[in-house]
Every structure is written in structure tokens, then in C-alpha cells.
Amino acid sequence: MPAGLNRALLTLAGAVVAIVLAIAVCSVAIVAAGGDPLHALTAFFDFGASERAQSNSVATLFNRAVPLFIAGLAVAVGFRMNLFNIGVEGQYRIAAICAAYVGSTFVAPAPIQIAVIIIVAMVAGGLYALIPAIMKVTRGVNEVIATIMLNYIALNITAYLVRGPFAGTRAEGELTVSTPPLPDSGMFPDLNFLFGWFGMLAPTREGGLWGFLVVAIVLGVVLWVVLERTRFGFDVKASGLNQSAALAAGVNPKRMVIAAMVLSGAIAGLIGLPEILGSTGSFGTTFTSGLGFLGIAVALLGRNKPVGIAVAALLFAFLDRAQGALQFANIPPSVVEIIQGAIVLLVVVANEVTNRFALRLEERRAARQLKVTA
């Protein structure tokens, strides 16, 4: 069996074992809380009693997976450079409010309107990620500390902007505050027609199946090509593995740090757009938070590969979607967070174990080949 295939099968086996162990750990937590693990398992696969409810559940699953997938890609770019971009949370919030506000200030044909919103989001996210990159290459500031602090700054900046300069008009007595709504040309077309292909009713909840799913798929393919099939991707990986060796090969590690962080921030800037362009049409005080931190777990689970990140995002979205069904089954919804945390922890351990096991197998194979040639 080829070494690459052998390593891939070991990685897959390790991930499966980790997920099974995570379910076992969660079952113990469910029993401790007075619940029934079998009822919980049934609730996870409960997509609704009616056809419309099932369509809504499927749409919710993919709508949740799309921003998680983009967040995982953003984190993975930093990981490939051996950079821990913990600031994805702040970067996507800054980008989302800037894009939502700029998009509400003009009206243009839909392709131009949406393209401008996307560009603004990527530029805002990339520029905010440039701050810790410059701090690292010029002053040696650890990117983890810098990005964590910038998350808090971003949180307060967005809170100020949405209640101040970027605030839209609101009805009397309304508690939520948001930016002015986007024009109709700024809303991304949905993909509800796909349900008809499978004989299902079109979803009606939260704008149906968000069309930004197409952008996420294209982004994943493009990023895979850039990181795996271009000189830039090789330079990123080489600089992350050994900066001294990369410098000797003619690669400027400092320049690659800046490039990787800006690219990571630009991708992070897209995280909030599926919700804004597909459902809410604005950035408000109820805007979804925490996606940047979940992206770290998704990237780790997906081994920093777009395909693996997509699978991890779908898994996390599947677990998140079941929170409502778990409550109806009298099971604490916190079980979902226990499972997610256990999966990430056990997968990291499993990856280390399988890597060491694969390395030993390769060493033994190489030793046998030496004996044969001798």
C-alpha cells in the first residue's frame, strides 16, 4: 500500500474513533444529567415531522455550515504558516459591519452591489489582520496575544458603530439596533430551487438556503489550488516549517507572515456575509457571534484541508441544528458543546497517535528496503 494512502487511512480511522469516543463521553454526561442517550441520538436525527419542517432543517444545516467552513478556511491559512490567528472573530465582525454599512449607502445592479460588498468585507478583514502581522514582523509581538486583544477592540468598535455612526432608523420601542438595510440588489439569490430537484418543498425559514453556499464552494476550491499548487502556497508552508531554511531558499519569511495574515483576514471578512446577504440584510446587535472561535475547532478537525474543513463544518452544523430537538427531548442543549469539545480534543490526540504510528510504519518499510538492496 502506498505510504500516502496508508497515512490517509490511518488519519480517517483516527477521526472515526475520536468521534465514537466523543459520543461515548457525551453519553456519560447525558446519563449524569438524568437523560437517555438513545433519546438524544434520536433527537440528533429528528429533522421534523412535516415535509416543510424537514426542508427548513436541511436549509438550517447548510446555512450554519457555510460560515463555519469559511471560518475554518481563514484559520487554516494561518495554521499553514504556523501562525495562530485567534483574531478571526474580531476580523469578521469589523468586516461585516463595514460591508453592511457601505452596501446600504448606494444602489446598483445586483452583480455590482454584491461584488462591492464582498470586496469591502475582504479589504476590511485583511486590513484588520495586517495590524498583528506588522506587530509581529517589526516588534516580535506574539500574534496570539495581539489578535486576542484586537478581538476585544473589534467587539467594542462594532458595538459603538452600530449604535452610533452606522446606526439605521428604528421603530419606537424596538430594542435591537442595526445598520440601514441593504437594498434588494444587495441580497444574494437563494438556492431554494435545489430542493425541487430532490422532490422536497422549498424552505421558508431565514430566507431559505443561502446562495452564499456557492461562493463558499468556489472559495474552498481556489484556496486549495493556491495553497497546494502554486509557488505562494509552497512558500507559505516552507516559511511555516522552517524560516531559516526558507530564507536560505530565497523566501522572505517576514513578507510571508504579512501575506498569510492578510489572506487569512480577508477570508475571515467573508464569514458574516452569508447571514447578512442571505437573511438579515444588515448588521445588528443580534448578529451571530463566536464563529471565529468555532473556526479554530473546525480547522483543527479538518486538518487544515478544505475538504476536511467542509466535513468538519457540516458535522458541527449538524450538532448545532439538533439543539432544539434536544430541548424537546428534555436533554440539556449544552450536550452539543460537550460533544464538539470532546471531538476536537480527541481528534487532536488521535492525529498525534496516528502520525507517530504512520511514521514508524514508514521507518520499518524503509529499513526493509535497505535490507533488500543490501
Q: Who's near 357: CB < 8 A, 6+ residues apart?
A: 10
pLDDT tens-place string over residues 187-238: 999 999 999 998 899 998 877 999 999 999 999 999 999 999 999 999 998 8
Output the pLDDT for position 149. Answer: 95
Cα–Cα dist 144/211, whole Å: 33
C-alpha cell at 96: 461585516
Determine the residue type at 285.
T
Output the pLDDT for position 344. Answer: 81
Output the pLDDT for position 128. Answer: 98
CA distances 202 to 54, 276, 314, Å, are: 10, 20, 20
> Cα 96 to chain center, whole Å?
15
CB burial readout 15-41, b (16+ within 10 A) else e:
beebbebbbebbbebbeeeebebeebb
**Residue keyed to cell 499548487:** 229
CA distances 55 to 6, 194, 209, Å, are: 39, 11, 9
Output the pLDDT for position 1. Answer: 54
Please state the φ and ψ torsions of residue 203, each to the nearest 5 degrees: -70, 155
Cα–Cα dist 107/349, whole Å: 51
Binned average pLDDT, 10 residues per bin, the chain of 374 residues: 63 77 81 79 82 90 96 95 93 97 96 97 98 95 95 96 90 82 94 92 87 96 94 89 85 92 97 95 92 92 90 91 78 78 81 80 79 70
Output the pLDDT for position 64. Answer: 95
* Structural domains present in the chain: 1-46+329-374 (no CATH), 59-325 (1.10.3470)
